[in-house]
């Protein structure tokens, strides 16, 4: 008798690909928003209609640039890919995925190592094909150049506007002014009272720190709804728009990839418009304010008009460090208006942020002048029998706190004659040389 064993039939179920899609638009306009919605709807239907696909998600960034990695949905998609929850990414084109050649190639290579395929539909490229990376390199370079060209065109349009004296200003974060239907600056009466108070208090003798403290105590909020700080007050006091003028191109983008905003110290041309809009304070008050700002800064010994001119204004500048936080001690003059004035060196952290940040170290200039300081030295206050003494520790010794680097400022641009429009003097500012 023959017995034949019949094996059971095993049904192998094909594993479906876990598929998502990525979409992006670069601006928040209504038309772009509609485009993003169309892309999202298209990919949702495409994935659902394919029996070999398992829907994961649609990742869509709205109003973000493709030259940066800092896109929330893009990063969320990469996070899922890194945890092996995605097999395939669908996207319209290379320019939607990213406009930075390096970013495209680095991301695609990482995804490929993770076993994740990326398909660019419009460009007809799959990262799993042999010639995929070559085509990606070429086409993503084109996308990057297209981004650069668009950036240069935008800069050109802004320069033409600035030359005609047109402002590009967001008044939602600008205290004292609104815009009318023609885009012109008009005074906001309620906010203007705060600006007038700040200038009047400063001219009367109050410092920026005291003004900020009093505004907070009175329940007055900044235009952004936050608390006042010394720096916020100084920014208002130095802003030429409160006397009716406007300086354009105060900042610029370093390059089209990083889009990092930099303060314009003369690297690119800027424009100064006189009598551009109604002033909140008179020119006399504004000029007096600038004079007092410089005068008080000189009295404190912290004026840095150029990068190197004032960096070593005093022999001990940058040499003395606080024993509590390691910050440099700053030279200050106490009671500068009176005969009992005193020159001291005080912790810069304490000066800027108060005793909650650091209890501070203070030493008189005469006292430290009797010590032969040749290198960075930590100054420590020591109480002995109820009297204050000082201990000095050279930074050359090990295991001592280190000082923080001091910030420096760059030089300002020089003024060249420019053009005149509608009775307003528009002065073009160019970089030195």
Which tokens go with 11? Answer: 């049904």
CA distance 416 to 402: 44
Tens-digit pLDDT profile for the chain (433 aa)? 677 777 665 544 557 899 999 988 876 555 565 778 888 899 999 999 999 999 999 998 887 664 456 688 999 999 999 999 999 999 988 778 876 666 777 888 888 889 999 998 887 888 887 766 666 666 555 555 555 555 555 555 555 654 554 555 655 678 998 888 877 888 999 999 999 999 999 999 998 889 999 999 999 999 888 889 988 999 999 988 899 887 776 665 655 444 566 666 555 666 677 787 889 999 999 999 999 998 888 776 655 443 344 444 577 888 888 888 888 898 888 876 667 778 899 998 888 888 888 888 999 988 888 888 878 888 998 888 888 888 888 754 433 333 333 333 322 333 333 434 444 544 444 444 4
330 burial (CB, 10 Å; 0-12 / 13-18 / 19+) is buried
> 346: left (phi > 0), else alpha (psi -120 to 50), else beta?
beta
Whether the CB-CB separation of 396 and 375 falls below 8 Å is answered with: yes
Q: What is the 3-state secondary structure (H, E, C) of 57-100?
A: EEEEEECCCCCCCCCHHHHHHHHHHHCCCCCEEEECCHHHHCCC
- What confidence score (pLDDT) does residue 202 get? 94
- What confidence score (pLDDT) does residue 14 get? 59
Q: Give the pTM.
A: 0.41
For the chain, domains (ranges, CATH) are 17-150 (3.40.50.1390), 171-244+279-303 (3.90.1750.20), 320-394 (no CATH)
Q: How many helices (H) and strands (E) does the chain have?
A: 11, 20
Continuous segment of H or E residues that includes residue 142: helix 132-163
- What confidence score (pLDDT) does residue 289 get? 93
- What confidence score (pLDDT) does residue 302 get? 59
Which tokens go with 251? Answer: 């900042």
Nearest residue to 74 (alpha-carbon basis) of 139, 20, 143, 147? 20
């Amino acid at each position: 008798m023959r017995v034949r064993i019949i094996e059971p039939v095993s049904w192998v179920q094909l594993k479906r690909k876990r598929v998502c899609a990525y979409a992006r638009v670069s601006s928040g306009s209504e038309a772009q928003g509609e485009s993003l919605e169309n892309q999202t709807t298209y990919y949702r239907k495409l994935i659902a209609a394919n029996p070999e696909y398992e829907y994961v998600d649609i990742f869509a960034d709205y109003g973000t640039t493709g030259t940066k990695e800092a896109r929330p949905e893009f990063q969320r998609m990469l996070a899922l890919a890194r945890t092996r929850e995605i097999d395939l990414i669908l996207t319209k084109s290379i320019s939607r995925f990213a406009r930075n050649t390096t970013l495209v190639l680095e991301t695609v290579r990482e995804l490929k190592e993770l076993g994740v395929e990326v398909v660019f539909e419009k460009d007809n490229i799959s990262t799993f094909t042999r010639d995929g990376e070559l085509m990606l390199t070429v086409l993503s370079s084109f996308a990057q150049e297209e981004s650069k060209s668009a950036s240069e065109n935008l800069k050109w349009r802004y320069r033409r506007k600035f030359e005609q004296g047109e402002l590009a200003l967001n008044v939602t974060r600008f205290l004292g002014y609104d815009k009318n239907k023609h885009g012109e600056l008009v005074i906001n009466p309620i906010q203007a009272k705060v600006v007038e108070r700040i200038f009047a208090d400063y001219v009367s003798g109050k410092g920026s720190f005291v003004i900020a403290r009093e505004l907070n105590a009175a329940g007055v909020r900044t235009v952004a709804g936050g608390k006042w700080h010394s720096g916020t007050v100084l920014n208002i006091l130095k802003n030429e728009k409160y006397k009716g003028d406007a300086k354009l191109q105060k900042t610029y983008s370093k390059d089209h990839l990083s889009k990092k905003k930099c303060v314009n110290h003369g690297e690119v041309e800027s424009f100064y418009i006189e009598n551009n809009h109604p002033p909140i304070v008179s020119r006399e008050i504004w000029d007096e304010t600038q004079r007092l700002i410089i005068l008080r800064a000189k009295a404190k010994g912290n004026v840095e008009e150029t990068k190197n001119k004032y960096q070593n204004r005093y022999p001990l500048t940058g040499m003395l460090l606080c024993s509590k936080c390691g910050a440099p001690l700053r030279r200050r003059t106490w009671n500068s208006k009176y005969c009992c004035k005193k020159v001291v060196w005080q912790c810069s952290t304490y000066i800027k942020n108060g005793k909650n940040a650091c209890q501070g170290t203070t030493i008189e200039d005469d006292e430290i002048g009797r010590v032969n300081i040749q290198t960075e030295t930590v100054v420590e206050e020591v109480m002995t029998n109820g009297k204050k003494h000082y201990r000095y520790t050279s930074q050359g010794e090990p295991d001592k706190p280190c000082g923080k680097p001091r910030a420096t400022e760059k030089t300002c641009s020089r003024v060249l004659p420019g053009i005149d429009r509608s009775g307003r003097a528009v002065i073009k500012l160019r970089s030195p040389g």
